[in-house]
Amino acid sequence: MKKKNLSAKKKIHNFYFKKINDPKIKKIYLTFKKNLSNKITNNFCVAVSGGVDSLALTFLAKCYSLEKRNKVFFFIVDHKLRNNSTQEANFVQNKLKKFGIFSEILTLKKKSKFSNLQSFARDNRYSLILKKSLKKKIDSILTAHHNDDFLENFFIRLLRGSGLKGLTSFGKIKSKIKFDDKIYVLRPLIDIPKKDLIYISQNTFNFNIDDPTNNDDKFLRVRIRKLISKLEEDGLTFRKFKISLNNLSKSNLAINYYVNKNIIDYSSYLKLSKTFILNENFFKQPDEIVFRSFSELIQKIGKKSSYARGVKIQKLLKYLRSTNNYKKKTLSGCIIQKFENSVIISPENR
């Protein structure tokens, strides 16, 4: 390696070494590192948006890769939803290059129609990063979700009528990505407040992109954010919220136990035909147990990336319980048919 390149590399390493020794940044980094402990087994990547959250994550991930000598990739998604999105992506890429971070811009094909802007952007961002991760044999995608996001998602799901499982699922540091079971999403900042990430971003790279939608009241998330701010004035803290959520998570684990028990005790799997047969006792359990058990089997047989919509599951369960009609029904890649007191779930395409 040429002396010039060695000198530049040493300068970059010294930058990260110096910044990580800031007492506040070091404390945050130790939490970040603890949350990643034993969760990364191969290459990993970072989703970079250019906001203060993702830039703080980018800094911490770079420090982690230097310490652990892991291969890390940085992906910037040009979502094409704003006129200057390409300019912003190039700006972030060029800025990070000065700090020894070489990123790749992934471009989303522009679509004229979509019902939910933020949902569309999120889902397609994950889709692009997933495809690239599969090619590069990456098994973990790091996202910048922090404890403010945690609170916001809880209230959003509460307003949308999510059950116990939905309300408690976002708080996990590691979870399977809905698109592919081989790749995991890691949220190593989930215990860290946004104000700490702002501190890191301002005291390291010292630049960021502002997304105007973050202040637009037409988006539910923005309205929820303002609601939480008012609740904090009345004494809501993340610590208090986490205590309540931990209690809910314990209840969720108890339900999961009985869901698995229901499947084991009252269903049979025919490996050759890839079919589940549910006997009448399967449907005699409490409603939540039946609902989750049935959803699990539909997802497993249908091999879908996500669970069938709850409304459709409820409607099908009501039909199966209230009729002796043996007409076949289809849902989420499955054929469901009642036969005497049993229900058969088989794949739609065999």
Report yes or no: 267 and 278 within 8 Å, Cβ to Cβ: yes
Query: Hey, what CATH topology would domain 259-347 get?
Result: 3.30.465
C-alpha to C-alpha distances, 280 to 22, 155, 266, 273, 341, nearest whole angstrom: 63, 37, 8, 21, 5
Sequence-separated (6 or more) residues with CB below 8 Å from residue 255:
164, 165, 288, 289, 292
Nearest to 278 by CA among 340, 347, 334: 340
Residue 322 φ/ψ region, left for φ over 0, alpha for ψ in the -120 to 50 degree band, beta for the rest: alpha
Whether 3-236 and 259-347 share one fold: the answer is no
Lowest mean pLDDT among 15-24, 73-82, 232-241, 335-344: 232-241
89: helix, strand or coil: helix
User: CB 179: neighbour CB atoms within 10 A?
Assistant: 17
Instruction: Answer for the pair 256, 321: CB distance below 8 angstroms, yes or no.
Output: no
- Say which residue, 331 or 150, is predicted with more confidence: 331
pLDDT in tens, 191-209: 898 999 999 999 999 998 8
Paired tokens of 177: 């990505």
pLDDT of residue 251: 92
Inter-residue contact 268 to 344 (CB < 8 Å):
no
Q: For the domain with range 3-236, which CATH number is right: 3.40.50.620, 1.10.10.10, 1.10.3720.10, 3.30.360.10?
A: 3.40.50.620
26: left (phi over 0), alpha (psi -120 to 50) or beta: alpha
Beta sheet of 275-278, edge-to-edge order: 267-270, 275-278, 342-347, 334-339, 329-331
Extents of the domains making up the chain: 3-236, 259-347
**Can you read off the two tokens belonging to residue 118?**
């933020």
3-state helix, strand, coil in the chain (%, to 5): 55, 15, 30
At 13, the pLDDT band (50, 70, 90 cuts) reads confident
Give the whole-number percent of the chain exceeding pLDDT 90: 46
